């Protein structure tokens, strides 16, 4: 399976099953596409005969022969037209230990962001609630107990707004550090915050203890404040920007992300990414909002051409700034072509409901943070003696790119791993039916990422 | 090859041999975390 595309001055081919990426000139691009569409094998004489016939007015037969020989060599080396002969065993996932936990330390928030999937912190329940330090500690025990031989364990403090319950965060971290020594584990903590309560004391603790911090901001002031505001309606931009800049600098401009959401209100979102870069941030992630089509800010299919243009605008500037020595990282354009994850990880995806679980303030367990509050997806509790709901666990374990018909013929499948199952469930009612709009945007981002690789390899 | 430049080696299939250790970072793919592309996760298998 081969995917080819043109972007700006580049002709690129991705051999999906080997993961090989090739940059071609126009002649080899045309010949490759012709052979692929016609189903011709470059090692057969017929391929040369038919290709010369097709392109005789544009290219010499000597040049075509040379290209076909090169394509045949790549095929022999499994770098083009490689077969998808990988056999995935989902039994591995069914019995996989838990290695990552999203700890809902606060189901309360001091912002009222318009698009909040977490229902402004309440997670579709009637109450705002903070997790007790005791429940958090029991969650750490649960994680260690169920982590088997996995050494690296991840815990993300999430909300609502985690800084509204920071004393509990500190107690839980301290307790987990004791467990590390006893059980030969390594806890990697992360925290996601809107920044309203971020101060020097909290930042000192976070910098000492947390491997990553996610800072929520959407970009330009007018864009951010239109959707990210307090209960009294005032926007968050002015108070969070200085705090976030200080945070980024204090962490050496690494191991953090400023993370935004773009909506239909700012389809010119490349300006927001560049605004964040102009504020001095080097680690940036801005992602499409995911929600039903019933709101005025939700993205629609008709917006895709505009969104694709924006991603192209962004990648052009992204490459230019990198070349000028004033680059930044954009999370969705970062692809590791050589040292990335193994195919098993790429097929199985995020591992939610198996390797990754979310714990609500009362100790209830869900497949991931997006499912919290949904009774149908409650898997059990950290206080239960027995194992989590086996049927639910098996259902999530069996979810992978081969179980999703929409993924089978998608060139991006080994890059996105089938996308977010919670979004699939929200939009299509099934964890095995990916959200089409998200897929379209993912494919565009993969193309932009590969273009950036080619452009920066010059 | 003067007309084709290959940017990386074909490592995907080979990665199945020693893959699946599970020590790598979890890759949340929802839009509310640092997320999405699994392909930028680092492999942390010490024995590969």
Beta-bridged to residue A285, according to DSSP, are A259
Degrees to nearest 5, angle at CA A437 with A434 and A442 = 80
Residue partners of A108: CB distance under 8 A and separation at least 6:
A121, A122, A128, A129, A130, A159, A160, A161, A164, A165
Nearest CA in chain B to A63: B3
Locate the chain B residue with the closest alpha carbon to A15: B10
Q: Are strands A2-7 and A10-15 parallel, antiparallel or unpaired?
A: antiparallel
A156/A143 Cα distance (integer angstroms): 12
- Residue A386: per-residue pLDDT: 82
Q: What is the pLDDT of residue A112?
A: 92
* Average pLDDT value over all residues in chain A: 93
Residue-wise pLDDT for B2-42, tens only, equals 999 999 987 787 777 767 777 777 767 555 555 445 556 67
* Nearest residue of A to residue B36, measured between CA atoms: A416
Residue by residue, DSSP assigns A197-263 as T--HHHHHHHHHHEEEEEEE--SSHHHHHHHSB-TTS-BSHHHHHHHHHHHHHHTTT-SEEEEEEE-
The pLDDT > 90 percentage for chain A reads 80
Question: A374 and A353 in contact (C-beta within 8 Å)?
Answer: no
ipTM: 0.87
DSSP character string of A341-398: --HHHHHHTT-BTTTEEEE-TTSEEESSGGGTT-GGG--EETT-SS---HHHHHHHHT
**Residue in B8, B18, B37 closest to A20 by CB:** B8
Contacts of A56 (CB under 8 A, 6+ apart): none
A445 phi and psi angles, rounded to 5 deg? -65, -35
Give the pLDDT of residue A410.
96
The rounded Cα A248 to chain-centroid distance in angstroms is: 21
A423 has a chain B CB within 8 A of its CB: yes
Q: At what angle do helices A200-209 and A166-183 cross, to 10 degrees?
A: 20
Q: What is the pLDDT of residue A34?
A: 98
pLDDT tens string A12-61: 999 999 999 999 999 999 999 999 999 999 999 999 999 999 999 999 99
Q: Is B5 close to A22, i.e. CB distance below 8 A?
A: yes
Number of H helices, E strands in chain B: 0, 1
pLDDT tens-digit series, residues A265-278: 999 999 999 999 99
Query: Which of the residues B36, B43, B47 would you substitute to probe the A interface, choosing the one with the greatest number of A C-beta atoms within 10 Å?
Result: B36
Contact A19/B at CB under 8 A: yes
Cis? peptide before A160, omega within 30° of 0: yes
For residue B36, the model assigns a pLDDT of: 44
Widest distance between CA atoms in chain A = 77
| Interchain proximity B12–A18, CB inside 8 Å | yes
Q: How far is B46 from chain A (nearest CA, A)?
A: 12
Question: How does DSSP assign A18-32, residue by residue?
Answer: TTEEEEE-HHHHHHH
* Contacts for A334 with CB less than 8 Å, ≥ 6 apart: A449, B37, B40
- Which residue bears the tokens 């389809």? A267
Q: What is the pLDDT of residue B39?
A: 57
pLDDT of residue B14: 77
Q: Which residue has the tokens 């022999």?
A: A76
* Chain A to chain B Cβ contacts (< 8 Å): 210
Given an 8 Å threshold on Cβ–Cβ distance, is B23 in contact with A151? yes
Ranges of chain A with pLDDT below 70: 120
Interface contact B23-A152, CB threshold 8 A: yes
**pLDDT of B22:** 73
Q: Are A340 and B45 inside 8 Å of each other by CB? A: no
Q: How far apart are CA A64 and CA B4, in angstroms?
A: 13
Q: Residue A52 has what pLDDT?
A: 96
Residue A78 sits at φ, ψ, to 5 deg, of 60, 30
């Amino acid at each position: 399976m081969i995917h080819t595309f043109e972007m700006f001055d580049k002709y690129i081919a991705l051999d999906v099953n080997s993961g090989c990426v090739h940059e071609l000139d126009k002649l080899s691009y045309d010949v490759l596409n012709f052979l692929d569409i016609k189903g011709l094998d470059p090692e057969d004489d017929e391929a040369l005969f038919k290709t010369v016939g097709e392109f005789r007015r544009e290219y010499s037969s000597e040049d075509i022969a040379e290209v076909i020989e090169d394509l045949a060599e790549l095929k022999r080396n499994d770098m083009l037209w490689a077969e998808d002969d990988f056999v995935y065993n989902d039994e591995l996932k069914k019995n996989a230990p838990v290695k990552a936990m999203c700890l809902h330390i606060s189901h309360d928030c001091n912002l009222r962001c318009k698009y909040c999937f977490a229902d402004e912190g309440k997670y579709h329940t009637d109450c705002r609630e903070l997790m007790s330090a005791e429940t958090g500690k029991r969650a750490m025990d649960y994680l260690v107990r169920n982590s088997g031989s996995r050494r690296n364990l991840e815990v993300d403090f999430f909300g609502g707004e985690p800084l509204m319950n920071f004393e509990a965060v500190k107690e839980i971290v301290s307790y987990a550090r004791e467990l590390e020594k006893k059980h030969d584990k390594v806890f990697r903590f992360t925290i996601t915050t809107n920044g309203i309560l971020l101060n020097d004391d909290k930042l000192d603790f976070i910098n000492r203890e947390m491997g990553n911090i996610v800072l929520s901001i959407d970009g330009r002031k007018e864009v951010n404040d239109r959707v990210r505001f307090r209960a009294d309606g005032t926007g968050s931009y002015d108070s969070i920007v200085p705090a976030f800049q200080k945070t980024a600098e204090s962490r050496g401009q690494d191991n953090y992300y400023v993370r935004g959401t773009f909506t239909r209100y700012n389809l010119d979102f490349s300006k927001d990414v560049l605004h964040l870069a102009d504020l001095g941030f080097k680690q940036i992630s801005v992602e499409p909002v995911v929600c039903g089509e019933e709101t005025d800010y939700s993205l629609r299919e008709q917006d895709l051409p505009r969104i694709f243009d924006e991603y192209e605008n962004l990648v052009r500037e992204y490459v230019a700034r990198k070349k000028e020595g004033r680059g930044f990282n954009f999370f969705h354009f970062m692809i590791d072509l050589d040292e990335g994850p193994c195919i098993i990880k790429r097929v199985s995806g995020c591992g939610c409901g198996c390797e990754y679980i979310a714990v609500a303030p009362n100790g209830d367990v869900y497949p991931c943070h997006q499912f919290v509050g949904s009774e149908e997806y409650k898997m059990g509790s950290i206080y239960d003696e027995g194992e989590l709901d086996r049927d639910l666990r098996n259902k999530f374990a069996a979810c992978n790119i081969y179980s999703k018909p929409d993924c089978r013929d998608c060139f991006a499948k080994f890059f996105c791993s089938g996308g977010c199952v919670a979004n699939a469930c929200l939009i299509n009612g099934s964890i095995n039916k990916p959200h089409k709009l998200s897929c379209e945007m993912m494919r565009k981002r993969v193309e932009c990422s590969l273009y950036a690789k080619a452009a920066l390899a010059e | 090859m003067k007309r084709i430049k290959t940017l990386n080696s074909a490592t995907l299939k080979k990665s199945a041999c020693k893959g699946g250790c599970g020590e790598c970072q979890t890759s949340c793919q929802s839009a509310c975390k640092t997320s999405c592309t699994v392909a930028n996760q680092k492999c942390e298998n010490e024995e590969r």
